[in-house]
Every structure is written in C-alpha cells, then in structure tokens.
A and B are shown apart, each in its own frame.
Chain A
C-alpha cells in the first residue's frame, strides 16, 4: 500500500471511530450504568398510582389473545404485553410495559370493567428495561421493543468495530506502542486467568 493510501485509510478510520463512537456513547452509558445497578441487584422502587376503573364491552366467552386485543383496543394502550388472557374467577390481568412504566389492567368480565394501575419505575427502571429487552426469555411482541432489539444488535456491531479500529489506530501511533502493549497484555492476561479460574478452578 502506498503512503498516501495508508494515510487515507488512517484518516477515514479515525473519522469513523470518532463519529460512530460519539453516536453510541449514550447507549454505552445506558448499558454501563444499568450494569452496575444490576450487578448489585439494585431494583427501582416502583410508585403505584391507580388510574381508575373504566367500562368496557366484552363479548361472552371471549378469552386468550382475542380478549387481550379487545381490551387493549378499547383502552387505547400499547406496549410490551404480558398476559395471555386466561380468565380466572371472571378476571384476567394484563401488564403493558414500556421503559420506566408498567400499566397493570385488571379486567372484570362479569362487571364489564377494567381497573388500571400505573406503576412507575423511573429512570432506573427505564434503563433496566432497555438493558433486559429483548433477552433470553423475552421474545418481544411490541414493535418498538423489536426496533430497540435491532438497535441493540447494531450497538454490538459498532462496539466491535470501535474495538478493531481502536487497535488499528493505536498500532499506527509509535509513541504509545510500548505502554499500549503492556496494557493489552495485562488485559489479556487478566481476562484469560479470570475466565480459566471461573470455569475450571
């Protein structure tokens, strides 16, 4: 490769490293801060607020997903839905989650009414929600969560890109080579020894 094309590659890599890094910096903060909270099992303190009871019209014998859809349509609610519309004692409970808030709808089929309670989990609840969704046991059913999942994947690819370009940019700088090698070696040694110990000790 000629000197000018090497210089061009370096400059483009530097620009991309900077711009993509700045773009994902708020996302990285969301993941890093929520990780610290999750690592210490800190849960948000939810604040419950009853939002009243409203009349709804439900056809006789309705249950399952049809019941859930009918209730949500009538109440104009959307979000990540938990609750399959199973009816017990003429009641069913549907939870509609969004980052930082969960609406709990208790439907009484006999009285044809729905009581709504809003549980607010605040900023911590919102970032924990985003950290967890989608996840191992959470296949998203809300379009927005699916979109967040796609964004989360993109963040992973950008993070990997940033690490690779970061290594390239460091290798080009002769002044930082020695200390950088010590840091890289130290990191690799720490990682490998911790992983080996945690898996095989």
Chain B
C-alpha cells in the first residue's frame, strides 16, 4: 500500500470514527452536560427529598465482618444498590447505606431487637441527574474504609463513564486532525484552537504564578 493510500484510508476512518462515536455517545453526552450544568447551579435544586421510614425484622446472628454483614442484611431486606459502609459510631446499632441514583436507603439495625429501620430517601429529578453524574461507587467523599464497587450496575455505569471519557478524548484528537487537514481558513482553525488552549492553560497553570 502506498503512503498516499494509507493516509487517505486513515483520514477516511478518522472521520468515520468521529461521526460514529459522536452518534453513539449522544445521549450520554447530553446527560453529563446537562447534569453538570445543574450541579454548577445548586440553587436550581429546589424541592425537598422524600423520606419514608419503615421497620423490618431481620436475622442478625453469628460473627461476620461488617461488609459481609451488610451484604447479608441487604439481601434479607431485598434492597438493590451500591453498599456504602462507614465506621460504626453507635455500638448498639449497625448502620449502612444502599445507594442508587434515585434512592438512598439508610439501614439502621437495632442490635437489641433485631429490627432494621430503613429510611428511604428519594431525591428530586435534578438530584437523580446529579447522582448519575457522580455515581462511581468509590467516591472519596464517602470515606469508606473499603472502597470497591459491589453492585454490578455500579460497575456497568462506572465502565460507561470511562468509555464516554475515552470516547471524548478520541473525538477531540480526531477533530484536531480533521481541523488541520480541512480546507477551511487556517487562520480560524489555529485561532480557535489557540484561544481554547490559552484560556484553559491560564486556569490550569497560570493562576499559580499570580
């Protein structure tokens, strides 16, 4: 294959990949863009969360490590979501949370009575958007001693987040190539990219100097 043919083939596929990735990721991009916009404006998050407490008897027997205990209780209570287990503060109770973007179940088991109180918290729609934006299963803010994704949907969502990020990086690289190969005004191509690079660099590196 000649060099010219290879370049032409690369340019053709570069363009195709840009189009196909953009189309495949369309709804993902809309979700992360719009949820990011809402998160930039916390005042737009009005409306209270809905809270419903419920009591359920549970079996709490034998020695288990806290993570296995929480999984066992989660199964007994028929709850689905990412387990969030922090250090226990009250020796009379065992507390954990089951987290998913449209529900947060705070489970507190009274060790004297073996009754679990589930506090079901439902966020508003914009809250669900924000939770989808940040639903990685291993957020530092949660301060979990054991940080791992233990719900299969968290793993799928986390994989989607990585895939969209890598997709965006590929789209950016392909657009840079197309920009420099395009027949449009070179001045505008270089100018628009340079403007973005200068502004972005100012925020990343420039502010440390002043």
Contact = CB atoms under 8 A, between A and B. Distances in A.
Interface of A: 15, 18-33, 35-36, 38-41, 43, 98-101, 123, 126-127, 130, 134-137, 139, 144, 148-149, 151-153, 156, 159-160, 163, 166-167, 170, 173, 176, 179-180, 183-184, 186-188, 190-192, 194-195, 197-199, 201
B205 A126 contact: yes
Which interface residue of B25, B30, B130, B204 has the most chain A CB atoms within 10 A?
Answer: B204
Contact of A35 (B161, B197, B203, B208): B161
Given A156-B33, A194-B160, A139 B42 contact: yes
B196 A156 contact: no
Contact of A26 (B140, B166, B196): B196
Interface in B38-90: 39-40, 42, 45, 80
Interface residues of B, number: 70
Nearest to A197: B153
Contacts of A139: 42
Interface in B1-48: 16, 19-31, 33-34, 36-37, 39-40, 42, 45
Contacts of B80: 201
Contacts of A160: 30, 33-34
A144 B204 CA distance: 12
B106 interface: no
A19 B194 CA distance: 11
Contacts of A186: 24
A184 B24 contact: yes
B200 A159 contact: no
Nearest to A101: B208
A160 B156 CA distance: 25
Contacts of A199: 100-102, 128
Nearest to A186: B24
A201 B175 contact: no
B181 to A, nearest CB: 11
A40 B175 CA distance: 27
B169 A32 contact: yes
A41 B140 contact: yes
B147 interface: yes
Nearest to A150: B40
B157 A19 contact: no
Contacts of B175: 18, 21-22, 25
A18 B203 contact: no
